[in-house]
Structure 1
């Protein structure tokens, strides 16, 4: 367990065996059933979560209980997007599991001790949060400057693995468009893709074969 976390850290900093053990001892494993909450609106939240297996989402509810998806978090992701290190805050949204999942979580105080014990992790967490900030920045630009079809196309380009694992109405919520709009644009994209497909030899042969006579 925790192999994915260690591998993710290793992309930025190299840990020795002793440091790896310190990291592993600092996190607690939690298993979630599909649709089970990890955190709910209004709860005091003082933890940072790493998805070791499965898929989570963060979302809030607006008027008439309409859901607005803030973040999808597949394996190898941190959730939430930001982590207040100085004081306890009330959660502004819900986090639940879209699949049977396993997460690693660390308490804020343990997190501070971990950074003191393994200072090189400062770089790893800084880079991780910078990546999330960049993703959030690109999402805002996408939302403000593109039409629905382009929003979806960019989402597919950035997160191809999520598209196959998340219901379309949740993707529509994340993109800030209506589900029927997303469905209509997906059909347009599929039609254009089909029209651009090269004609294979088998198709040519099939088209040129003479009709069978009785």
Structure 2
């Protein structure tokens, strides 16, 4: 159960078997059914979750009431609302399981305890937060500076095989376009091949 988590954090820091055992002890396995909401807008986010299996969409409702997907979290990705978690403010995000999923959850309190007792964990989450910032910056630049066609191709590259598991509406929400426009993009790209 913890092998994937160990592989994930080993990209950033080295922990002995004993240290990893101490680190992983506060994580709890949670199962989520398809369409189950992990975090709802207005609630306080008090956790971080590491996805073992399945897929989640992290989204918000824009001023027009339309769903805007920030990202999908698949196996090996983390889920949380960083703003709510760090600043103790109500979440503006929603996190929903798109299929039956398994997540290792750690509470804010337990994570803070790990920071105090294992200095390398603070380094781990600092590096992961830096990587997350880079990914979000790239996402913003893509949304503001690239055509929908290029964003669609980037989506296919970033999430290989995921498109077959999602609805056209979910993919369109991530791309910031209508599902009708996504159909046109798909048709145009398939004709170019």
Q: When the two structures are superposed, what TM-score results if normalisation uses the length of structure 1?
A: 0.83
Write the mapping of 1:134-173 to structure 2, written as runs, cut at 5 A. Answer: 134-173=134-173
Displacement, 1:154?
A: 1.8
String of CA shifts for 1:77-102, please: whole Å, max 9, x gaps.
11136366655221112111001101
Please tell me whether Structure 1 or Structure 2 has the larger radius of gyration of its CA atoms: 1
Q: When the two structures are superposed, what TM-score results if normalisation uses the length of structure 2?
A: 0.92
Higher mean C-alpha deviation, range 118-127 or range 174-183: 118-127
Write the mapping of 1:60-209 to structure 2, written as runs, cut at 5 A. Answer: 60-63=60-63, 65-80=65-80, 82=82, 87-193=87-193
Work out whether residues 82 and 129 of structure 1, in 8 Å CA contact, stay in contact via their aligned partners in 2.
Answer: no
Deviating beyond 4 angstroms after TM superposition, the runs of 4 or more aligned structure 1 residues are 83-87
Higher mean C-alpha deviation, range 82-91 or range 93-102: 82-91
**Equivalent in the alignment of 1:40:** 40
Alpha-carbon spacing, 1:119–1:83, altered in 2? closer, same or farther (3 Å): farther
| Residues in 2 aligned to 1:182 and 1:87: alpha-carbon distance in whole angstroms | 36
Q: Residue 110 of structure 2 aligns to a residue in which SS?
A: helix
Q: Residue 35 of structure 1 aligns to a residue in which SS?
A: coil
Gaps of 5+ in 1: 194-214
Higher mean C-alpha deviation, range 93-102 or range 75-84: 75-84
In angstroms, what is the RMSD of aligned CA positions? 1.8
